[in-house]
Amino acid sequence: MDRLDANAIGFPGVEVRVAQRCGSTNDLLLEDRSSGPVLLAAEEQTAGRGRRGRRWHGTPGAGLTFSLALQVKRPARELAGLSLAAGVALSKALRALGVARAALKWPNDLMVDGAKLGGILVETRGAGAATRAVIGIGINCRRDPGLALRLGRTLAALDQFLSPLPSRNDLLKAIIPVLLETLATFEAQGLETLRGEWEALDAHAGQRLRVRLAGGRVLTGVAAGLAEDGGLRLNTKHGMRAVRSGRVVSARPA
């Protein structure tokens, strides 16, 4: 198993840390007082999580789990777009490495051919005039059939598409510049400049979706890209709707 190495990952202007074992990289960076960008990668997380408190499952050494903390000055109402911007960056970086069909599932999953490759969890805290944003990312690197069986869903891993599989240090060195550049674009211009890129990477573009809303109700419609604020646009029988909090539970051709 390749080992994470902060010196090998090092990127100008970013403090890079490696934890052998921790609860959650997001939690640690939310409490951190550093003002500049900090990247924390972990060999093992014991309390990793996804959206709405769901647990992030992973086998030590089989995946890449890390968080990036940085200051963001966009208005609070725009911060929902951070996970979408991060998704664009990750898909572009993985495609450049050779994962040609890397795509995005709204609002925060990395997909390949309908299988989940990774996920994104963005959490924020007020920091004076700015916001401290922590972008947590998990990517499956090596196949783990036992994990897929336990979760009851189809998973993808990078070793299915990249041969030889780069070390996790090299993966981070390829991902971080693209992530920082994309987040800088978001900071300067908001989501609008990235919306077209996200829609071009949308795994469900033009498909008929069932979306479970935050309150439990299910909305059905054809995926029609993103609203200006990052909501998922659905063309329903009652007209166009924008979903801002929900989960895609099924997709099929329209």
173 as an active site residue: the answer is no
Q: Is the dihedral of CA 125, 121, 230, 175 positive or negative?
A: positive
CA angle 52, 187, 92 (to 5 degrees): 70
252 as an active site residue: the answer is yes
Read off the tokens for 237: 């029988």
Contact between 22 and 42 under an 8 Å Cβ cutoff? The reply is yes
Task: Using alpha carbons, select from 249, 243, 154, 251 the residue that is nearest to residue 204.
Answer: 251
Catalytic residue among 49, 105, 116, 132: 116
Catalytic residue among 51, 95, 142, 173: 51
Question: 75-93 as b/e, with b when 16 or more CB fall inside 10 Å?
Answer: eeebbbbbbbbbbbbbbbb
**Which run of H or of E encompasses 186?**
helix 168-189
51 as an active site residue: the answer is yes
What number of other Cβ atoms are within 10 A of residue 178's Cβ?
17
Phi and psi for 171 in degrees, rounded to 5? -60, -45
Residues assigned a catalytic role: 51, 116, 252
